[in-house]
Amino acid sequence: MIPDIYIAALLTSLLALAVIGGVLLLRTPKEDRWPLSIVVLLMLPMNALAFYVVRMPIDGLLSAALGKQAEAYQFIRTLYAPFTEEPAKLWPLLIPLFYRHMKSIPVHRLSLAIGLGFGVGEAWTVASLLSKSPEIAKYPWYLLGGYMSERLMVCVMHAAFAASALALIRKHKRVCLGLLACMLLHFLGNFPIFLAGKNAFSLGPRAWPVILQMWVLVYFLMMACFLAYLAYGKQWLRKLFRGTVKCPECKKVYEHPIFGVNFLRKRYEKCPHCKNWHLVSAFDEEDNEANNSMQGGSGTGKLCG
């Protein structure tokens, strides 16, 4: 009988591919869709390879040399994920032809493809490890919501880690600095787990699980904001929530009003010019045509984001 954790992993994978992959598909020009699809496929096995081929052998050597109860060994274990997973996500950039082709794709889109593929692969690696736990085996798949929500958030976090490296590599040509940045972000995300295991500050076994849940949510939001900043620039908050759109009826450009009904990619809202309600794009559409309508001028341009 298939453990229910694998059903949870399948549902998580489908949801991640539908939501994150769907946004990528809708927001990416046609010529970039196949390259990003290849990136997702390349990333799928990388977590398992990093874990079983690199991490486990290193752990075996260190545990034998230091002892599993040693403080040094316990701390070094917190470095496993950053130092093995981040290079595993960025290895295609070592291929010159691949790197030249990917340079034309915006950092946030490429990072989302990396995070999606790697995160889905990690969901299955974690599921294979949890399937061996008698405690987890007692739960049906519909009670494993904690696993599913965490795995979905991890897809975005991995994307943000990769984006920090890609931004530095592209802008400053600093490969080592980029790797260090994404490793540091990854380490900061995991470090509270180490503190909880040590019962740091004597907060107790009741307080630490609550703190960890809050930290995961806060950290996820910070990483999502970082990706939004890369996508929309300094005005990311305004563009994300109050972006511009052209009314399909009166053809005038306006900022999204505060009140409206969101349907993922579409939004049902009232045009402030013609006073009619329409179903419009929920994303910012501030291209040159929009700027011309609001500021004057001429030209053409692509959609922002």
Spatial strand order in the sheet of 277-281: 261-263, 266-270, 277-281
- For the record, the structure tokens of 90 come out as 């960025």
Residue 178: Cβ-neighbour burial (10 angstroms; 0-12, 13-18, 19+)? buried
- For the record, the structure tokens of 23 come out as 């946004």
Task: Choose from 44-48, 193-197, 253-257 the range with maximum mean pLDDT.
Answer: 44-48
Which range (45-54, 154-163, 180-189, 269-278) has the least confidence? Answer: 269-278
State the DSSP string of 119-174. Answer: HHHHHHHHHHHHTT-HHHHTS-GGG-HHHHHHHHHHHHHHHHHHHHHHHHHHHH--
Residue 299 pLDDT exceeds 80: no
Contact at 8 Å (CB) between 215 and 192? yes
Which range (237-251, 261-275, 278-292) has the least confidence? Answer: 278-292
CA distances from 150 to 79, 129, 153, 162, 185 (A): 20, 15, 5, 18, 17
- For the record, the structure tokens of 39 come out as 């990136």
Higher pLDDT, 11 or 26: 11
**Residue 196's Cα: distance from chain center in Å?**
24
Residue 92 pLDDT exceeds 60: yes
- The 3-state DSSP class for residue 210 equals helix
Which range (4-13, 78-87, 213-222, 264-273) has the least confidence? Answer: 264-273
Q: State which amino acid sits at residue 17.
A: L
Which alpha helices (H) appear in the chain, and where do they start and end? 4-27, 30-43, 46-49, 56-66, 71-90, 96-102, 107-130, 134-137, 145-172, 175-197, 204-232, 236-242, 288-295
Contact at 8 Å (CB) between 141 and 94? no
According to DSSP, the β-strands at 261-263 and 277-281 are unpaired
Mean pLDDT rounded to a whole number for the chain: 86
Model pLDDT, residue 260: 79
pLDDT in tens, 49-77: 999 999 999 999 999 999 988 989 999 99
The share of the chain scoring above pLDDT 70, in percent, equals 89
Q: State which amino acid sits at residue 25.
A: L
Give the number of C-alpha atoms closer than 13 A to the C-alpha of residue 172, restricted to the C-beta side: 11
Average pLDDT, integer, range 119-123: 97
Q: What is the pTM of this model?
A: 0.81
Contact at 8 Å (CB) between 163 and 227? yes
Higher pLDDT, 45 or 94: 45
Contact at 8 Å (CB) between 107 and 170? yes
Residue 101 pLDDT exceeds 70: yes
Which range (86-90, 134-138, 206-210, 259-263) has the least confidence? Answer: 259-263
Model pLDDT, residue 298: 33
pLDDT in tens, 127-172: 999 999 999 988 999 999 999 999 999 999 999 999 999 999 888 8
pLDDT in tens, 284-298: 554 433 333 333 333
Burial 259-275, CB ≥16 within 10 A → b, else e:
eeeeeeeebebebeeee
Average pLDDT, integer, range 24-38: 90
- pLDDT-derived band of residue 239, with 50, 70 and 90 as boundaries? low
Sign of CA dihedral 76, 79, 85, 91: negative
Which range (31-45, 86-100, 119-133, 163-177) has the least confidence? Answer: 86-100
- The 3-state DSSP class for residue 202 equals helix
